[in-house]
Chains A and B, each alone.
Chain A
């Protein structure tokens, strides 16, 4: 806007300032409804969780907004919490790594097809992406069940019945299945936008295929890698639906642990402290990831 203004000579500085003020007022008016909504239904709830995490608990389990303390945060050092957090972290990192390893060549393949083929393949990726997450997770419960198709095939071939359901492996399969499209689409977008002439230039300068990939393709697709990793890592770290359907009693993750503090255990201050901690760690990790990702570009 500003550089267009300077082209026009007859505009006085006062007029320009007034126009800018009017322009900024319009911006505020546009921002106001969503800003108001998000303050009321997002920022204030955020503050409430923060306040609750310092609250105390009566002997009957009710939250008391007095006797403020750090008790809830002290419980975070409980070995059980550490175990659950570590398990969640390992599963989230493993899910992100597997998704990346599988999606990169997959997205690369789609992005290097001809226009018609590319569109067809893309629609085939879109369908699971838009399909209901719960339903897609439930499908694995049917598949992996002790009398499910995979187990039956295994037995028909003379093998053992499959007992994967309600283990960490089942949760990992479910998470990879659930979040794979979230990795594929940003990777595809980054690779599709890429200027392939740069790769050709590298090859013309006698780079072999691997060097050209490492020095040209990979750095250029980096924004897709970062976006995809964040889109997979964040929801898997707080996953609740997948472990609830495919996991068992011994596969508690942070997501269901937090939920149980509100629905079963009724320890709201501790649940709030857990939420605040998970949120802070995630925010920190995201910012760090963006920073390092941007620097190494």
Chain B
């Protein structure tokens, strides 16, 4: 809309494209903005606007269930992001930079979790943990229970593949001759990786980590299957509330979650800027 070449008049198609785009943006943002607006509403009833207040944010922080769920979510997300980023990056390197026997099977194993729906993944992991715990119990007379551990293990299981895909895409764009040049200059494999490959794929690794973090903080289905009675993540807790109806408290918690993800996007954009800027200016 704002950048026209000036010389050429806008064609009707161009106008239609622009109109479609602004409608899509309206569709993207209107629901989010309405939700944020209502979270500052003082009324007990969601639909009726009375006056702005921070009442529901106070209620949120006073609610010990919410606070506990936030803590569980953060622990699970941190563990899952770190482990799946390391394992996923290693998997991407193995697939993109090495040739070994059984690689095709391994490739399939890494990609399959992506095209499996959440619900199936949830069912698989529930039965696996239940069966596994029964076997452990029959062997040593004690068994672990469902909780923060099973949630973390499950989140890692579905995140590794996504990290691997993102990092692999970045590795694929990379010129292998850079690593070969390092090897020619007598760098060891590790030095070449540490000094050349890793800095170059870092935006991909960070992108993968952000995706893993988001997947973990977003997940409802798998978590509600493997959470057990003890631990609940924030999305699962909110999901339970939402099923019972719309309340101003959910609006406030939801807005807080939206703000958190927007901060994440902001941080990642800054990171991507700085980490892509340095290698490109050098070359």
Contacts and interface: CB of A to CB of B under 8 A. Distances in A.
Contact of A136 (B2, B32, B48, B217): B32
B218 A133 contact: yes
Chain A residues touching B, majority SS:
helix
Contact of B119 (A52, A238, A286): A238
Given A31-B100, A234-B117, A279-B120, A127 B34 contact: no
B24 A38 contact: no
Interface range for B: 35 or more
A262 B118 contact: no
A283 B113 CA distance: 11
B258 interface: yes
B123 A139 contact: no
Count chain B CB atoms within 10 A of each CB in A37, A42, A128, A136 and give the residue with the most: A42
Interface string A48-74: 110010000000000000000000000
Interface in A80-123: 102-103, 105-106, 108-110, 113-114, 117, 121, 123
A43 B109 contact: yes
B5 to A, nearest CB: 10
Contacts of A125: 28
B45 to A, nearest CB: 7
Given A23-B98, A34-B91, A177 B119 contact: no
B87 A34 contact: yes
Contacts of A143: 30-31, 34
A168 B252 CA distance: 28
Contact of A268 (B27, B127, B238): B127
A104 to B, nearest CB: 10
A42 B115 contact: no
Contacts of B161: 38
A180 B27 CA distance: 10
A43 B21 CA distance: 43
Contacts of B180: 4
10 contacts: A33-B87, A38-B113, A102-B24, A124-B25, A134-B220, A143-B34, A181-B28, A244-B243, A255-B117, A278-B119
Given A258-B119, A272-B123, 13 more contacts: A27-B103, A31-B95, A31-B106, A42-B109, A123-B265, A133-B218, A138-B238, A138-B242, A147-B45, A148-B47, A234-B117, A245-B243, A262-B123
Interface of B: 2-3, 13, 16-18, 20-21, 24-25, 27-32, 34-35, 38, 45-48, 87-88, 90-91, 93-95, 97-101, 103, 106, 109-110, 112-113, 115-120, 122-128, 131, 153-154, 156-157, 160-161, 164, 176, 180, 189, 210, 214, 217-218, 220-221, 225, 235, 238-239, 242-243, 246, 250-251, 254, 257-258, 261-262, 264-265, 269
